[in-house]
Amino acid sequence: MSEELIYLEATELESLVSHKLQAAGMSQEHAEEVGRHLRYADARGIHSHGAVRVEYYAERIAKGGLTLKPAFKFEQTGPSTGIFHGDNGSGHVAAKEGLFHAIKLAQDTGVGIVGISKMGHSGMLSYYADIAAQSDLICLTVCQSDPMAVPFGGTEPYFGTNPIAFSAPTQGERPIIFDMATTVQAWGKILDARSKHLEIPNNWAVDVQGQPTTDPYKVQGLLPIAGPKGYGLMMMVDILSGSLLGLPFGKHVSSMYSDLSKGRNLGHLHIVINPAYFTDLRQFKENLSTMIAELHENQPTKGFDQVLYPGELAEKIQAESDIKGIPIVREIYDYLISETIHFDKYDHSDTFAEKE
């Protein structure tokens, strides 16, 4: 059965998230940034990275697994490169601060590559890609996560969902934004299905026997997209955002749930490119707009009204949310407005949030 949904204005959702995280111990500045980030996700229909995450964040904050006053530091390592040291603070805040340094490097030198070292969970990657595109820049951003995906041909999780996001500015329209997990679905989609008491498709994950499952509570391994291709991509992401920064890799990446009193030491990498260093910026943006127009003119196949560009569906959902409000599961809303900080639900659970 599906859960009742209620609809909130963006400012109300941001405020509820921020106040809950502040009640758990996070600073107002950082809590407000996480609120903006989660609102962005929910408003665009990516509920796997929205308010469904708040209780987990609050429990980790309350139990000391996030540095509340991190000593952020940017270390420039070359003309176009640097490392942003996150001190196990909020990944949402650290990744955004690291992005601003990458943007500055790209504006000054044509390319900016910044790794964010030792941070918490950084949320939805298209949030960062969107910011870069608003400055007329191309962005490729990747981050590692804890082992949840079985390697192609294997039965035991080794890599994380290890997402990738890409953006590019256009002339007039919103940016092209591509955001994907390297698994068939992100772990947050499983959490979203749990919150709504829904089954999942049988090609998302496997159970303890390595067999396909439709029960989100029986998931013991996520599947890579397109078999060996997704497997290769998740390895690439792990290398770029983990090994490249001297951080733990593969099955050594810290678990999201095993001990919420400890920092996660996760890695993230932003690669920002300034098109103006390679071609005429105006012509570049016009060409991408022409590409979008030609895709819209492409004859749609059965079951489709129109060919959309990457990110366009999220834009349509965003526009609807601006009118109707952002849909939130009633159970999540009730938690947000309650006095409860968390329900001690995640700490010392296994990889898939089941109590050991």
SS (H, E, C) 19-50: HHHHHHCCCHHHHHHHHHHHHHHHHCCCHHHC
Number of domains in the chain: 1
Q: Is 345 a domain residue? A: no
Residues 55, 44: Cα–Cα separation, whole Å:
20
Which two structure tokens, joined as six digits, stand for 265? Answer: 């030491």
188 or 103: which leads in pLDDT: 103
Q: Average pLDDT of 25-53?
A: 97
Q: Is 102 a domain residue? A: yes
Q: Is 307 a domain residue? A: no
Q: Is 291 a domain residue? A: no
pLDDT in tens, 278-294: 999 999 999 999 999 99
pLDDT in tens, 69-83: 999 999 999 999 999
Residue for token pair 């964010």: 116
Percent of the chain with pLDDT over 90: 90
Whether the per-residue pLDDT at 150 is higher than 70: the answer is yes
Instruction: Indicate the range of 33-42, 102-111, 174-183, 345-354 predicted with least confidence.
Output: 345-354
Q: Average pLDDT of 211-240?
A: 95
* pTM beyond cutoff 0.85: yes
Q: Average pLDDT of 113-141?
A: 98
Predicted pLDDT at 356: 59
Predicted pLDDT at 1: 41
Instruction: Indicate the range of 97-101, 195-199, 314-318, 326-330 predicted with least confidence.
Output: 195-199
- The one catalytic residue in 49, 121, 270, 342 is 121
Q: Average pLDDT of 103-120?
A: 98
Percent of the chain with pLDDT over 70: 99
Q: Is 247 a domain residue? A: yes
Are 143 and 259 within 8 A, CB to CB? no
Average per-residue pLDDT for the chain:
95
> What pairing do the DSSP bridges indicate for beta strands 5-8 and 326-329?
antiparallel
5 or 1: which leads in pLDDT: 5
Q: Is 298 a domain residue? A: no
Whether the per-residue pLDDT at 67 is higher than 50: the answer is yes
Are 184 and 118 within 8 A, CB to CB? no
Whether the per-residue pLDDT at 206 is higher than 70: the answer is yes
- How many C-beta atoms lie closer than 10 Å to residue 171's C-beta? 15
Q: Is 230 a domain residue? A: yes
Q: What is the CATH number of the domain that holds 84?
A: 3.30.1370.60
Are 196 and 189 within 8 A, CB to CB? no
Domain with 216 in it: 5-281+312-337
Q: Is 57 a domain residue? A: yes
> Known catalytic residue: 121?
yes
Among residues 226, 167, 217, which one has the least CA distance to residue 195? 217
